[in-house]
């Protein structure tokens, strides 16, 4: 779920927009994902906020993308990764206007 404050992920974890440096499309292991890249100063906080399976995924994705702890949004949604990225970018802009 996307809110003005961030993205709510499975397992109760959350990514705050204020902690996200950028959102973009990436290919991980042959599959396209919308990916959230944390600001460097928030990488450790972001990893701690994720449940263990998501934390391990972020660390693996980081090695594959050579980025610190990217969070890949679920691909099993009705939106394509490109459409999901557009929605995420709109939610981030909306959140920044509400602060």
How confident is residue 11, by pLDDT bands cut at 50, 70 and 90? Answer: confident
Average pLDDT over residues 27-41: 89
**What stretches of the chain show up as alpha helix (H) in DSSP?**
43-49, 52-65, 81-98
How confident is residue 79, by pLDDT bands cut at 50, 70 and 90? Answer: confident
* Dihedral sign computed on CA atoms, order 30, 67, 54, 72: negative
Q: What was the pLDDT predicted at 97?
A: 58
**Tens of pLDDT along 36-68?**
999 999 999 888 888 888 889 889 999 999 999
Q: What was the pLDDT predicted at 81?
A: 84
User: In terms of pTM, does the model score above 0.85?
Assistant: no
In angstroms, the CA 25 to CA 32 distance is 7
């Amino acid at each position: 779920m996307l809110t003005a404050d961030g993205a709510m992920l499975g397992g109760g974890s959350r990514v705050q927009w204020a902690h996200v440096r950028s959102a973009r499309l990436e290919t991980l292991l042959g599959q396209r994902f919308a990916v959230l890249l944390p600001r460097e100063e928030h990488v450790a906080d972001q990893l701690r906020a994720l449940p263990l399976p998501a934390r391990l995924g972020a660390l693996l994705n980081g090695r594959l993308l050579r980025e610190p702890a990217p969070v890949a949004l679920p691909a099993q949604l009705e939106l394509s990764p490109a459409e999901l990225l557009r929605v995420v970018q709109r939610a981030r802009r909306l959140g920044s206007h509400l602060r």
